[in-house]
Chain A
Amino acid sequence: MKAGVTRFFAVCAAAGLGSVAGCGTPEAPLPDPLALATAANESGAPRTLEVTLTAQETSWDFGASKPSPVWSYNGTVPGPLLDARVGDRLVVHFANRLPEATTVHWHGLRLPNGMDGAPDVSGPVAAGGTFTYDFILKDAGLFWFHPHLRTDVQVERGLTGVIRVRGVDEPVVGTDVDEERVLVFDDVRVNDDGTFPTYLDDNSKMMGREGNTLLVNGRRTPTLSLRPGALVRWRVLNVANGRFFNFHIPGVSFHVVGSDGGSFAEPYDTDHLLIAPAERYDVYFRAPSTPGMLPLTSEPYDRGHDSGVRPPVVIAQLNVSGAAVTSSRPFPNVAPIASPIPVGAGTPRLPFVLAEGTDARGEFKFTVNGATYPNVPTVSTRVGEPFVLRVENQSEMDHPFHLHGTFFQQLDRDGVAIAAGRRVAKDTIVIPAKATLNLAANFDEPGMWMYHCHINEHSEAGMMGMIHAAR
């Protein structure tokens, strides 16, 4: 595994351990504090990844005075990284050892409807129950898994994990890039004693709860080591309930090559990378050539209700140190994965209107087409027939819109077309406040497919519905 070489350099260089036993050769890398846990492959069959996944109560140190009573997959926050190749079969023997029902939703994956972890399709997995998820990984990309029941609470308490599905022509660490990392960004709100708050205030109901502790791969404000001049690939994922991250590293430009399940035909460069809850981005950048410490910050972004004028927050520190990289590798060429979904005048258009308000009790509600889930009327389409989701956001804030079971491609925003080179296979996209997006999609599996806002407090407060894809 090439990543081991990367870890050797990063850890030994950062720790200044060049002469210490174990750091003298790449064969004996020290543990990387930001390494994600893995799950052992129990299958001997080719092209099969078979793992056991257990949702369970665990203690996890978020930096409070005591460890927090988290809910985790296999004992870590986030849960294990499942590493596979496109076309592999994934078999997950899931056991629920939580005190309540849950499901596992495989976010972004195209799979059979009954494997989707939607509780109203395949039923919840009761406390003490088990379920075997078994499907083919059809697409390359970075995906993740999380519960789809009481999502706001269960995800907040730590139930997240990552699936990296490698494509056939992926850049190779050590040949095409100097380092690759999967970085899971999160925030969690814990009391001084490590417990989770029992009361959810109205700001959190409106904006989605934002934590008082920022996390990278489950670690609070960690230090990431980079070699000067290194060409770095970061595959980033936001699993926060409500927080949008707007990444910035002083003096660094991100070369954005993909998002969710696709690659851009025309990558772009930016010094600020906005990532909403549940989105993923695939970015490259070159580490500064001068050694030193740099902050990775999340810069202000106004996602509505005057949320945009808060100060930047530091998420992590980057320690640029060690032997400089002089190879000056170019950014790899990444082939676009998705071909455009054909849309014409006769393509069906399904309208979805997102809105916010209060109910008769004065509680916030978040609606789709005037109703809250499960009372949102189901709309219908047919497998293999392209359609357009016309998503109009009438509310005062952004909503990251997620569709299960297939990808979509953004066609336009408020009537302004998206350049063909920037269309990409997305499963989660920000519908900005007061904006309308047209999204082309096409199911290849029949069933009842959920769509919802991925601010988890919003989906739980009603902004969720179903699309029926008929054969």
Chain B
Amino acid sequence: MNLTARLARPLAALVFAVLPACGGDDNLGTTDASTNAAADAGATVPAAPTITMLVKMTGGLHVSWTNATKDCDTIIGERKTASDAYVVAFTVPGAADNKHDALLTAGMTYTYRLHCVRGGISSAFSNEMSGTP
């Protein structure tokens, strides 16, 4: 999946904002974080991830992002609707860069944000992105 695809196929899905750098990868897959950050990172606040795409897929929304910090322990995704506050939608391993959020209501608009947690310390929140399944 890739930014260019979104641009080339505006009807395909949704709303997004994107970083130029997120195209061009080969989707070579999520691997496990390679270092034990908590031990050597001390009290350093990790950098926040960046949401790159929100795509309508099989009745849900597929969130993709880039990780500015390579050794997050977890990435926590939050979502909200127009009338509600943010709630945690998913928690995935720190090297993950995508998650499908399936159990959504068709036609409702959802907004997402992410943060990275490393050694018990949270990053700031990512950018927000909204979409409608």
Query: In the complex, what's the smallest C-beta–C-beta distance from A285 to chain B, in angstroms?
Result: 25
Interchain CB contact (< 8 A) of B1 among A193, A305, A357:
A305
Please, which residues of chain A bring their CB within 8 A of the CB of B12? 306
Please, which residues of chain B bring their CB within 8 A of the CB of A190? 31
B26 proximal to A (CB < 8 A): yes
Query: In the complex, what's the smallest C-beta–C-beta distance from A5 to chain B, in angstroms?
Result: 38
A46 proximal to B (CB < 8 A): no
Say whether B100 contacts A199, CB under 8 Å: no
Please, which residues of chain A bring their CB within 8 A of the CB of B30? 189, 197, 199-201, 203-204
Say whether A195 contacts B29, CB under 8 Å: no
Say whether A191 contacts B32, CB under 8 Å: yes
Say whether A201 contacts B99, CB under 8 Å: yes
**Bound: A20/B2 CA distance, A:** 50
The residue on B at minimum CB distance from A189 is: B29
B87 proximal to A (CB < 8 A): no
Please, which residues of chain A bring their CB within 8 A of the CB of B1? 203, 305-307
Please, which residues of chain A bring their CB within 8 A of the CB of B32? 191, 195, 197-199
A36 proximal to B (CB < 8 A): no
Please, which residues of chain A bring their CB within 8 A of the CB of B95? 197, 199
The 0/1 profile, CB within 8 Å of A marked 1, for residues 76-120 of chain B is 000000000000000011011111111100000000000000000
Q: On chain B, which size bracket covers the interface?
A: 35 or more
Interchain CB contact (< 8 A) of B58 among A204, A307, A357:
A357
Say whether A309 contacts B60, CB under 8 Å: no
The 0/1 profile, CB within 8 Å of B marked 1, for residues 371-402 of chain A is 00000000000000000000000001000000
The 0/1 profile, CB within 8 Å of B marked 1, for residues 293-308 of chain A is 0000000000001111
**Bound: A173/B64 CA distance, A:** 50
A209 proximal to B (CB < 8 A): yes
Say whether B27 contacts A203, CB under 8 Å: yes
Query: In the complex, what's the smallest C-beta–C-beta distance from B12 to chain A, in angstroms?
Result: 7
The residue on A at minimum CB distance from B8 is: A309
**Bound: A197/B33 CA distance, A:** 9
Say whether A308 contacts B29, CB under 8 Å: no
The 0/1 profile, CB within 8 Å of B marked 1, for residues 351-383 of chain A is 000001110001110000000000000000000
The 0/1 profile, CB within 8 Å of B marked 1, for residues 193-237 of chain A is 101011111111111011110000000000000000000000000
**Bound: A207/B1 CA distance, A:** 10
Say whether A310 contacts B25, CB under 8 Å: yes
A14 proximal to B (CB < 8 A): no
Evaluate whether A310 and B2 lie within 8 angstroms (CB atoms) in the complex, with A199-B92, A203-B98 already known.
yes
Say whether A206 contacts B57, CB under 8 Å: yes
Please, which residues of chain B bring their CB within 8 A of the CB of A212? 28-29, 31
The residue on B at minimum CB distance from A193 is: B34
Please, which residues of chain A bring their CB within 8 A of the CB of B96? 199, 201
Interchain CB contact (< 8 A) of A202 among B31, B34, B59, B62:
B62
Interchain CB contact (< 8 A) of B31 among A197, A206, A307, A313:
A197
Please, which residues of chain A bring their CB within 8 A of the CB of B103? 358, 362
Say whether B27 contacts A310, CB under 8 Å: yes
A330 proximal to B (CB < 8 A): no
Please, which residues of chain B bring their CB within 8 A of the CB of A206? 57, 62, 100
Query: In the complex, what's the smallest C-beta–C-beta distance from A46 to chain B, in angstroms?
Result: 48
B20 proximal to A (CB < 8 A): no
Interface residues of B in 1-60 (CB under 8 A from A): 1-2, 4-6, 8-9, 12, 23-32, 34, 55, 57-60
Q: List 21 A-B contacts (CB under 8 A).
A: A189-B28, A191-B34, A195-B32, A197-B30, A199-B96, A200-B30, A201-B98, A202-B98, A203-B29, A205-B100, A210-B28, A211-B28, A306-B55, A309-B8, A310-B25, A358-B59, A358-B60, A358-B102, A362-B100, A362-B101, A396-B58
Binding site for A on B (CB under 8 A): 1-2, 4-6, 8-9, 12, 23-32, 34, 55, 57-60, 62, 64, 92-93, 95-103
